[in-house]
Structure 1
Amino acid sequence: MNISFFFEVLIGGLLSGVMYALVAIGFVLIYKASGVFNFAQGAMVFFAALTCVGIMDKFGLPLWLAIPATVAAMIVLGLAIERVVLRPLVNQPEITLFMATIGLAFFIEGLAQLVWGAQVHRLELPIEDVPLQYLADNFNIIVSQFDVMAAGVCGVMVLLLSLIFSKTKVGRALRAVADDHQAALAVGIPLQRIWAVLWAVAGIVALVAGLLWGARNGVQFALTFIALKALPVLILGGFTSVPGAIVGGLIIGASEKLAEVYIGPMVGGGIEGWFPYVLALLFLLVRPEGLFGEKIIRRI
């Protein structure tokens, strides 16, 4: 086995895994504080990327001005979702909230295409998709500079979110809301305001993910399916853990690339598309709460 090629595949998979983890964190943020699995997260990724390129195309703005405008749009979207959709459904069963996010996903997808059009857009970020010369020259490993920079951006985003959760007053309030909604309300924590902040942050996370995946694959409706790749990440890492999303993303990213290269030829290829789900299914049989999830014990 060519060891350089093995590490090339492994590193590429790990870098993709970091980007999967960023998408998964959008789910974790909402689920952790509200118990809602946000089916609309993929639509938010698509909406963010399409809004950014739409602003650039329609108003002729450069990327560095379009991004702040899109951040503002995503914050408004997050606040509107909390006010119009979630607030009237407070204390409703979780399945009701989940069904609401399904409807919300289709609405956001339609709204994005209604405003900006349904055609595929090209997104150019100031990061070249060329091999890193140091690894190529010294180790004969071909790794894309874009993948490294994208993983770095995702890593910084994850670190900031972790610091917000652990070190700030808002973060402590988020953890309190996650533990017990009624107890948080009883001690004076404004539940609606916390949810509004959370959805706004989830919108910003969706924007970063949308820009990175849009630059790699083009800004198109298929971006909504990126969220589906986050599902096995969540199953492995746990639905309530930011570190779990990171570890789960790394495992999924590395395993799917290695499986495609080393197992794919034995089964005819195409294994990268379904291997993560098989891995997640096997993992559910062993540890359904995930690596970092809390084990739920119900007494009857």
Structure 2
Amino acid sequence: MDISFFFEVLIGGLLAGVMYALVALGFVLIYKASGVFNFAQGAMVFFAASTCVGIVAKFGVSLWVAVPLTMAAMVLLGLATEKIVLRPLVNQPEITLFMATIGLTFFIEGLAQLIWGSEVRRLEIGIEDVPIQFLLDQFNIAVSQFDVASAGICAVLVTALALFFSKTKIGRALRAVADDHQAALAVGIPLQQIWGIVWAVAGFVALVAGMLWGARNGVQFALTFVALKALPVLILGGFTSVPGAILGGLIIGASEKLAEVYIGPMVGGGIEGWFPYVLALLFLLVRPEGLFGEKIIRRI
């Protein structure tokens, strides 16, 4: 086995895994705050990328102008979602909230295409998708400059959010809300304000993820399915753990690429599409709460 090629595949998978972790982080933030699995996170990624490239194309402004405008739009979308969809459903069964986010998914997808159109568009963020020459010359390993830069951006954002929610007053309030909504209200934590902040942050995360994935694959409806790759990540890492989202993303990204290269020729094409879900299914049989999830013990 060519060791250089192995490391090339492994590094590429790990870099993709960091981007998966960023998408999964949007799910984790909302689930921690409200106990809701936000099925609309993929639609938010698509909406963010479509809005950014749409502003550039329609108004002829630079990307540096479009990004803050898009960020404002995503924060408003997150706040509006919390106020219009989530707030009226407080204390409703989890399945009700989940079904609400499914309906929200179709609404956001339709809104994005209604405003900006449905054609595939390119998004240039100023990072070339070319091999890093030093690694290619010294180690014969082809690693994309775009992948490294994207992974670096994701790593910085994930680390900043992890520190924000673990070290700040808002983060402590978030953990209290996640443990018990009623108890948090009883001690004076503004539940609706915390939810609003979390949904706004989730909108910002969707913007970064949408720009990076849109720059790689083009801004198109298929971006909504990127979020589905976050499901195995969440199953492995745990639905309430930021470190779990990071580690789960790395595991899924690396295993997906290695399986595609080394197992794919033996079983046929398309393994990268279903292998992460098989891995997550096997993991569920061993540790259903995830690597960093808390075991739930119900007494009957």
Q: When the two structures are superposed, what TM-score results if normalisation uses the length of structure 1?
A: 0.99
SS at match of 1:124: coil
**What does the per-residue CA deviation read over 1:107-141, in whole Å, with 9 as the maximum and x for residues that have no partner?**
00000111111111110111111101111111100
- Please name the residue that 1:141 is paired with: 141
- Whether 1:265 and 2:289 are equivalent positions in the alignment is no
Q: For structure 1, which segment, 28-37 or 262-271, has the greater mean C-alpha deviation from structure 2 after superposition?
A: 262-271
Identity percentage over the alignment?
A: 84
- Whole-angstrom CA distance in 1 between matches of 2:87 and 2:251: 36
Segments of 4+ moved more than 2 angstroms: none
- Please name the residue that 1:103 is paired with: 103
Q: For structure 1, which segment, 19-28 or 266-275, has the greater mean C-alpha deviation from structure 2 after superposition?
A: 266-275
- Please name the residue that 1:66 is paired with: 66
- Whole-angstrom CA distance in 1 between matches of 2:183 and 2:176: 8
- Please name the residue that 1:227 is paired with: 227
Matching residue's letter, 1:132: I
- Whether 1:277 and 2:289 are equivalent positions in the alignment is no
- Whether 1:79 and 2:79 are equivalent positions in the alignment is yes
**What does the per-residue CA deviation read over 1:24-59, in whole Å, with 9 as the maximum and x for residues that have no partner?**
000000001110000000000000000000111111
**What does the per-residue CA deviation read over 1:248-290, in whole Å, with 9 as the maximum and x for residues that have no partner?**
0000000010011011111122211100000000000000000
1:87 Cα offset (Å): 0.6
- Whole-angstrom CA distance in 1 between matches of 2:55 and 2:155: 27
The 5 Å alignment of 1:114-153 reads 114-153=114-153
The 5 Å alignment of 1:36-75 reads 36-75=36-75
- Whole-angstrom CA distance in 2 between matches of 1:99 and 1:180: 22
SS at match of 1:95: helix
- Whole-angstrom CA distance in 1 between matches of 2:79 and 2:32: 18
SS at match of 2:127: coil
1:166 Cα offset (Å): 1.3
Unaligned runs of 5+ in 1: none
SS at match of 1:274: helix
- Please name the residue that 1:243 is paired with: 243
- Whole-angstrom CA distance in 2 between matches of 1:268 and 1:170: 49
Unaligned runs of 5+ in 2: none
- Whole-angstrom CA distance in 2 between matches of 1:83 and 1:239: 23
- Whole-angstrom CA distance in 2 between matches of 1:276 and 1:159: 24
**What does the per-residue CA deviation read over 1:190-241, in whole Å, with 9 as the maximum and x for residues that have no partner?**
1001000000000000000000000000000000000111000000000000
Q: When the two structures are superposed, what TM-score results if normalisation uses the length of structure 2?
A: 0.99
- Whole-angstrom CA distance in 2 between matches of 1:175 and 1:296: 17
SS at match of 1:146: helix
